[in-house]
Amino acid sequence: MAEKLPTWMTEGTVPVRKPSQKKVTSAEENATSLPEPEATPEVAPVSVKAEDALAGLNAVMRRDIRSWGKWLIGLGVVHLIANGSLDASWGIMLILLGAMSFLFTTPSMYVIYAVTMAWAGISNLIDTGLGWSVFGIFQFYLTFRIARQYYVFRKAGLVDIERKAVNASQERPIAPRLFPWLGLVGSVLLMWGLLAIFLGAFVIFGVYDASDESMSVQLIDFLFSVFISLIVAFWGINLAALLSKYRPRFLAGLGFFLSSVMLVIVLIL
């Protein structure tokens, strides 16, 4: 059976219909008699329909994110196999995001997808030839489509319901609880790892004066590329936590600041 393509590869959006509300007139407010018996059943069907529509929209989103996960893992494996023609370090990041897509079926994942797609577009515009530059422009269009999906689901109320359910006794989504901590801890670890890579590069080039073809230099270059890809991913996680207003917000803000600093550093380098 053919796998469902992600929404950015298809046309159309999921319609969301808001439940209508009955306008109360002044005459009805001043009435002393009890409401008509036939008017009471009209409220329940509207609420049921609204809940059913929201549940259906949530199911569509979950299927789409899982489809994203399968495609990302597949593309990541292709990048690893075709190392040289494609970037293997980028493949590692794609596999990581694919695994996250099965763990976090939340609208916030679309923010991370949009960030990584935009970074891929920037990289293709800067570092490659004309063909890839044209594809990079197309990736910016896909970035817009993916970001639009996040706002569609957010406007429908899925993000608010997810955030409020954290303090409820019902189903407890893990994204609002883990994203701020995940983004901050990941950013701190990446910062220490980046410092270790810089120190290793200084020792290799400054002390031992290694050639560009040596195995140690190639390893440092590969690790640096992996860290750049992971910095982009965790910058997206922190941004998703901020846009979705996950608490505690200061953790997401601190993680966003640290990952932004690292992103600026690697852009300068």
pLDDT band at residue 145 using 50, 70 and 90 as cut-offs: very high
Q: Domain boundaries in the chain?
A: 38-168, 175-269
The per-residue pLDDT for 163 is 61
Mean pLDDT, rounded, for 93-122: 93
d(C-alpha 189, C-alpha 153), whole Å: 32
Helix orientation angle between 130-155 and 109-127, rounded to the nearest 10 degrees: 160
- pLDDT of 27 above 90: no
Q: Using one digit for the tens of pLDDT, what is the confidence trace for 159-192?
A: 766 666 555 444 556 888 899 999 999 999 999 9
pLDDT at 29: 45
Task: Write out pLDDT tens, residues 212-236.
Answer: 556 777 788 888 889 999 999 999 9
In this prediction, residue 183 carries a pLDDT of 95
Name the range with the highest mean pLDDT among 13-17, 22-26, 96-100. 96-100
Per-residue pLDDT reduced to its tens digit, 248-269: 899 999 999 999 999 998 888 7
Question: Cis peptide before 248, with omega less than 30 degrees from 0?
Answer: yes
Q: CB of 220 within 8 A of CB of 234?
A: no
The pLDDT assigned to 123 comes to 87
Whole-angstrom distance, CA of residue 150 vs CA of residue 61: 10
> Own/partner pairs for 208-212, CB < 8 Å, 24+ apart?
none
**pLDDT > 80? residue 43:** no
> Which alpha helices (DSSP H) does 18-86 contain, by range?
26-30, 43-81
Q: Which residues touch 70 (CB under 8 Å, ≥6 apart)?
A: 3, 98
Give the model's pLDDT for residue 247: 85
Confidence label for 118 from pLDDT (cuts 50, 70 and 90): very high
Burial of 182 (0-12, 13-18, 19+ CB in 10 A): buried
Q: Are 116 and 123 in contact (CB under 8 A)?
A: no
- Identify the weakest region by mean pLDDT among 8-12, 170-174, 185-189, 243-247: 8-12
